[in-house]
Structure 1
């Protein structure tokens, strides 16, 4: 189940939890209010029979899917790609991920530009709004298999920070106001 917390400012391995001391958890309804992030719990072993994912796809217009496995053994140019995933960026479209196996962290900025770490594990589906600054990293298990969903053709282009005048960023900030 998705869990979230404010991050410490440690420069330790990015794959560590980076919890503050004492921990500062973020409730899931608070996460939505602070960031616009949406989430669902879906049975990763029975998602086709369950129908929940298909319902979300239909409701939100997701017409394209693919599956990515991120691990040193499975992803070509792993070191370069994991470095790129962890570079703070935004997208002009939503970023939608359904974790089919494994786990990892999405780091997102709240309304006050503070980092919140979101732990995603098998069965979690998360939607990061267009225009939201974020980054991704694996956890210490170094493995995630995720379905990526898109409206229409996939757009892979990350727009690295700073890009505060980008139309998607301006729209995102307006949606939080």
Structure 2
């Protein structure tokens, strides 16, 4: 299981697809991500259909539903609006699980102090974001990622844009941070 690259973001409103690193760069470790409930695995995306490691993760965590989305101007209807929508800060009532099968992209998550952390995702990266964490997603400058979406049970597509602090799942998530 190799590492994942993450860093604190600058405040620039330039193109969301740019890296937005602070200068000097402030890296974020795997341990720091795990402290806010974000977990990562590096898998072999070339064998995702028959990967015993992916199967084991799915069985252990109950990820029974799976589909695949390709995010590219030629593959995703209404691409521009969808990419804008994915980049709106939001939370879900369930964990968000994504496995990058090809291409690259970013997940941005909020830390304990409400600062943005950018997580670079590329082929083979599987990430889980806990229910209740504020986050957003964007492609990078390549404008292409192919991702497997995993869910426990039926897929839940509903996103609740910030502010959503009154949701029980948000309160439970914030409470879990205070305990850890």
TM norm. shorter chain > 0.5: yes
Q: Please name the residue that 1:23 is paired with.
A: 25
Q: In the aligned structure 1, how far is the partner of 2:50 from the partner of 2:75? A: 27
What's the C-alpha RMSD, in Å, of the aligned pairs?
Answer: 0.9
Q: In the aligned structure 2, how far is the partner of 1:99 from the partner of 1:2? A: 13
How far has the Cα of 1:54 moved from its partner? 0.5
**For residues 90-121 of structure 1, what are the alpha-carbon distances to aligned partners after superposition, in whole Å with 9 as ceiling and x for unaligned?**
00000000000000000000000000000000
**Structure-to-structure mapping, 1:12-51, within 5 angstroms:** 12-33=14-35, 35-51=36-52
2:119 maps to 1:113: no
Q: In the aligned structure 2, how far is the partner of 1:66 from the partner of 1:119? A: 21
Unaligned runs of 5+ in 2: none
Which of 11, 17, 21 in structure 2 is aligned with 1:9? Answer: 11
Q: Please name the residue that 1:149 is paired with.
A: 150
Unaligned runs of 5+ in 1: none
- Structure 1 runs of 4+ aligned residues shifted over 4 Å read none
Q: Please name the residue that 1:102 is paired with.
A: 103
Q: Please name the residue that 1:136 is paired with.
A: 137
Q: Please name the residue that 2:125 is paired with.
A: 124
Number of corresponding residues:
176
SS at match of 1:45: helix
**For residues 126-166 of structure 1, what are the alpha-carbon distances to aligned partners after superposition, in whole Å with 9 as ceiling and x for unaligned?**
00000000000000000000000001110000000001010
Q: Please name the residue that 1:80 is paired with.
A: 81
SS at match of 1:168: helix
